[in-house]
């Protein structure tokens, strides 16, 4: 039996009655949703495990394209004169609560070229847990989230009675225009308040999506598991329009449900060796090494038939393969395609038995940042990795970058060898050039010491280039406690060399001055750093220990001692820094990050370079998740090297609906907002205060900042980084 909701009538007596009925339906919908929200946490973790065969079919149609289509991440290489693509995959899937997915691909077939897995973030849409607070990991707030009533409105569309069970079709719409919110409907069963179906649609700045999820029948073991996904997407990016339609059908063989007495921690703790060991929750294996690629295998495994139109796509593909010219697969043709990939998309060079190299695109506007203080910056990354027996891992990375305002080129080579991954034991090598260093005390000391015997026009000791080598060994003494010990050496050379000659040609500068003031300084130091994260959660990936989060802060102390005479070292110094930082989750999509620290140089002899580790400046582009909340954006970079001691504190608060929705009604582009405050104290800054506000979108992140020095307004500026496809 089907009961339709009454339409809203015009004003008047009938209109007032209809309005009252509308309010009644809204109140009734809120009551139904409250029951569903109350049961959602239990239903989200109801399934203890299952085995299933997973079939995924994807159809992609290229409506419009240009050269920029190559920027679309993970998109397969398009074939000439082909607009319609179809790909099918069949996999064995084994799930164990709370979050283990072991997936083995059995068969793949399609006309989209070499298989790279389901493209883009499609798999996120085809693995939605409708009872979780977020529909896509930490994105898209679910209408069944604990705080969803603040962001969604609910209304009963229809009521259905079938087999003595009543179901309510509840429509939900966002109260604010935001890409973090969706609209659609869900069908909720009476008495159990479980969801039989959910459909939600939304958009980002470059994609629209509509996802429909069918759940298992009420009263069966499949009640809390999806039976079918139907996803439709439209991708729009700089003149490119791509339509996609995807269907996923899991076929369950065995399902294990938790008993009513099992909670999440209790069910998991039965298998965990430590309460901080989350191996059971994080281990993910996706075996695509061996699978069949012929159409006959897919014909035998396909759970749903192909439509006549889909069969036509395969027929055309077979004809094209039969008539494809031999030269199309020539070495020169493949080389041109690979070179095109290198220029405008991330790529991996497989070196067979010696590892692989992963590189960022050579031409990519999204590796550029801009700020008022430092102007434009660009960077490029290359990464090499090789896995050995017993999960030993060698990683090497090269980063190059250029700052156009300061005309400075930066480079860095890092090497890490994890030789005992279970204990976090590893060797680290860092080689590169650091920021050009400056201290205002140098010229002051020269003037005070030299008097009038030197020609100051020929002395330029304010900027020095820095070449450094760091070698260290790191080990995890016990869970959450890391010890890092090693050596570092710096060779600093003057950007413009000074001529230490006397104004009086017959007089040479004092020997003690030439011994102190040089065009080149070298330092060699021993360093020990100790960090402690109480309550450190982790998981084991084979024999490799991967550290995760903690509910408590991370404390660290960093000590360095300069040694004179080692490798021609010219100075003696001692550096000590203390640091504490912590991320705190405050609920749905809200986080608080704070960091506090202090440092000082002591016992300095012939030291003219104050180079802190925790209080430093990065001049190359980094995005939303870098230290944008832990550094000072407007502080002149010379201040980082102008004092022998500092005390700093930074706080960042992040939330998606903070300020913009209250100022502007239509702010869908804004995914997250941030508030920043930073305080710095050193001998010449008492204090320096910086506050800011930032927004994060799919394409870019923008932060606006103002500063105050010693009680007076100092500066205002902004920082812009590009984030397209990085979220």
Q: Give whichever of 76-80, 232-236, 419-423, 678-682 has the largest mean pLDDT.
A: 678-682
Q: What is the mean pLDDT of residues 414-424?
A: 89
Q: What is the mean pLDDT of residues 309-318?
A: 88
Looking at domain 364-722, its CATH class is: mainly beta
pLDDT of 709 > 80? The answer is yes
Q: How far apart are CA 391 and CA 439, in angstroms?
A: 45
Q: What is the mean pLDDT of residues 412-423?
A: 90
- Give residue 336's pLDDT: 46
- Give residue 200's pLDDT: 96
- Give residue 322's pLDDT: 66
pLDDT of 423 > 80? The answer is yes
User: With contact defined as beta carbons under 8 Å apart, do 603 and 573 qualify?
Assistant: yes
Token pair of 311 as six digits: 């069969």
User: With contact defined as beta carbons under 8 Å apart, do 618 and 630 qualify?
Assistant: no
pLDDT of 299 > 90? The answer is no
* pLDDT tier for residue 563 given thresholds of 50, 70 and 90: confident
Q: How far apart are CA 347 and CA 364, in angstroms?
A: 13
- Give residue 272's pLDDT: 45
The pLDDT tens digits for 499-541 are: 655 555 555 555 555 555 677 778 899 999 999 999 988 877 7
- Give residue 270's pLDDT: 42
User: With contact defined as beta carbons under 8 Å apart, do 458 and 499 qualify?
Assistant: yes
Least confident of 74-88, 202-216, 329-343, 513-527: 329-343
- Give residue 138's pLDDT: 74
User: With contact defined as beta carbons under 8 Å apart, do 397 and 523 qualify?
Assistant: no
Single out the residue of 531, 536, 532 nearest to residue 551, CA to CA. Answer: 536
Q: Give whichever of 98-112, 296-310, 330-344, 619-633 has the largest mean pLDDT.
A: 296-310
Return all residues near 480 (Cβ < 8 A) that are at least 6 apart.
532, 533, 534, 535, 536, 547, 550
- Give residue 355's pLDDT: 46
Least confident of 200-204, 427-431, 553-557, 574-578: 200-204
Task: With residue 318 as reference, give the H or E element that holds it.
Answer: helix 308-323
* pLDDT tier for residue 453 given thresholds of 50, 70 and 90: very low
Q: What is the mean pLDDT of residues 221-237?
A: 88
* pLDDT tier for residue 71 given thresholds of 50, 70 and 90: low
pLDDT of 582 > 80? The answer is yes
In the chain, the percentage of residues whose pLDDT exceeds 70 is 71
pLDDT of 479 > 60? The answer is yes
The pLDDT tens digits for 256-265 are: 877 655 544 4
- Give residue 206's pLDDT: 76
pLDDT of 487 > 60? The answer is yes
Please, which residues bridge with residue 627 across strands? Answer: none
- Give residue 177's pLDDT: 80
- Give residue 472's pLDDT: 95
- 572 by DSSP, 3-state: which? strand
Task: Tell me the DSSP string of 656-671.
Answer: SSSSHHHH-SB-TT--
Task: Report CA 48 to chain centroid distance, whole Å.
Answer: 29
The pLDDT tens digits for 85-138 are: 898 989 888 887 766 677 788 888 888 765 444 554 677 788 888 998 888 877
User: With contact defined as beta carbons under 8 Å apart, do 641 and 610 qualify?
Assistant: yes
Through-space distance between the first and last CA atoms of the chain, rounded to whole angstroms = 45
- Give residue 689's pLDDT: 95
- Give residue 702's pLDDT: 85
Give CATH 2.40.160.50 domain extents, the chain.
Answer: 364-722
Residues across the chain: 727
Q: What is the mean pLDDT of residues 681-691?
A: 89
- Give residue 212's pLDDT: 96
Return all residues near 555 (Cβ < 8 A) that are at least 6 apart.
531, 532, 533, 579, 580
Q: What is the mean pLDDT of residues 317-346?
A: 53
């Amino acid at each position: 039996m089907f009961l339709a909701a009454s339409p809203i009538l015009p004003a008047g007596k009938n209109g007032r009655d209809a309005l009252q009925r509308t309010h009644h339906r809204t109140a009734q919908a809120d009551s139904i949703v409250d029951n569903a929200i109350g049961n959602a946490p239990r239903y989200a973790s109801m399934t203890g495990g299952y085995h299933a065969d997973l079939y995924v079919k994807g159809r992609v149609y290229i409506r419009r394209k240009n050269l920029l289509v190559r920027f679309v991440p993970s998109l397969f290489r398009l074939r000439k004169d082909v607009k319609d693509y179809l790909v099918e995959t069949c996999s064995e899937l084994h799930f164990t609560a709370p979050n283990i997915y072991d997936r083995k691909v059995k068969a793949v077939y399609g006309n989209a070229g070499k298989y790279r897995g389901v493209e883009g973030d499609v798999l996120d849409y085809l693995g939605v847990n409708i009872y979780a607070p977020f529909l896509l990991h930490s994105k898209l707030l679910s209408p069944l989230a604990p705080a969803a009533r603040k962001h969604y409105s609910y209304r009963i569309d229809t009521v259905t009675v079938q087999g003595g069970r009543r179901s309510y079709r509840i429509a939900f719409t966002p109260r604010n225009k935001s890409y973090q919110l969706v609209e659609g409907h869900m069908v909720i069963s009476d008495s159990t308040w479980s969801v039989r179906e959910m459909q939600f649609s939304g958009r980002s700045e470059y994609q629209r999506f509509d996802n429909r999820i069918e759940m298992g029948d009420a009263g069966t073991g499949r009640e809390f598991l999806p039976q079918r996904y139907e996803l439709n997407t439209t991708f729009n990016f700089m003149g490119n329009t791509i339509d996609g339609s995807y269907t996923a059908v899991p076929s369950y063989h065995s399902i294990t449900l938790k008993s009513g007495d099992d909670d999440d921690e209790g069910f998991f703790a039965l298998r965990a060796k430590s309460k901080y060991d989350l191996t059971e929750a994080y281990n993910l294996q996706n075996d695509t090494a061996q699978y069949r690629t012929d159409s006959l295998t897919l014909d035998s495994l396909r759970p749903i038939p192909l439509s006549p139109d889909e069969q036509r796509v395969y027929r055309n593909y077979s004809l094209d393969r039969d008539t494809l010219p031999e030269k199309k697969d020539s070495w020169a043709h493949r080389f041109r395609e690979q070179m095109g990939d290198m220029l405008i998309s991330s790529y991996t060079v497989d070196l067979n038995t010696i590892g692989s190299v992963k590189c960022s695109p050579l031409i990519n506007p999204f590796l550029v940042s801009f700020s008022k203080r430092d102007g434009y910056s660009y960077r490029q990354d290359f990464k090499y990795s090789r896995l050995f027996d017993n999960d030993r891992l060698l990683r090497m990375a090269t980063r190059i970058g250029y700052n156009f305002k300061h005309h400075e080129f930066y480079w860095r080579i890092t090497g890490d060898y994890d030789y005992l991954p279970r204990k976090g034991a590893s060797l680290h090598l860092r080689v590169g050039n650091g920021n050009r260093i400056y201290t205002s005390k140098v010229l002051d000391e020269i003037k005070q010491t030299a008097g009038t015997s030197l020609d100051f026009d020929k002395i330029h000791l304010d900027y020095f280039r820095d070449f450094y080598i760091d070698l260290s060994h790191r080990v995890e003494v016990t869970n959450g406690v890391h010890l890092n010990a090693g050596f570092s050496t710096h060779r600093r050379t003057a950007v413009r060399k000074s001529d230490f000659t006397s104004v009086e040609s017959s007089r040479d500068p004092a020997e003690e001055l030439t011994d102190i003031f040089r065009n080149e300084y070298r330092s060699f130091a021993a360093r020990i750093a100790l960090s402690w994260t109480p309550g450190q959660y982790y998981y084991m990936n084979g024999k490799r220990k991967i550290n995760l989060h903690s509910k408590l802060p991370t404390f660290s102390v960093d000590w360095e001692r300069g040694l004179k005479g080692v490798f021609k070292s010219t100075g003696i110094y001692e550096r000590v820094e203390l640091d504490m930082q912590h991320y705190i989750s405050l609920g749905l999509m809200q986080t608080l990050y704070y960091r506090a620290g202090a440092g000082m140089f002591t016992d300095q002899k012939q030291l003219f370079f104050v180079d802190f580790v925790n209080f430093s400046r990065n001049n190359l582009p980094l995005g939303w998740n870098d230290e944008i909340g832990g550094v000072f954006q407007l502080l002149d970079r010379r201040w980082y090297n102008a004092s022998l001691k500092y005390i700093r504190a930074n706080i960042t608060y992040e939330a998606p609906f903070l300020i913009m929705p209250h100022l502007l009604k239509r702010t869908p582009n804004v995914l997250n907002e941030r508030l920043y405050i930073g305080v710095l104290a050193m001998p010449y800054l008492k204090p320096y205060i910086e506050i800011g506000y930032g927004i994060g979108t799919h394409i870019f992140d923008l932060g606006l900042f103002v500063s105050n020095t010693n009680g007076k307004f100092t500066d205002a500026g902004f920082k812009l980084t590009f984030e397209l496809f990085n979220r």
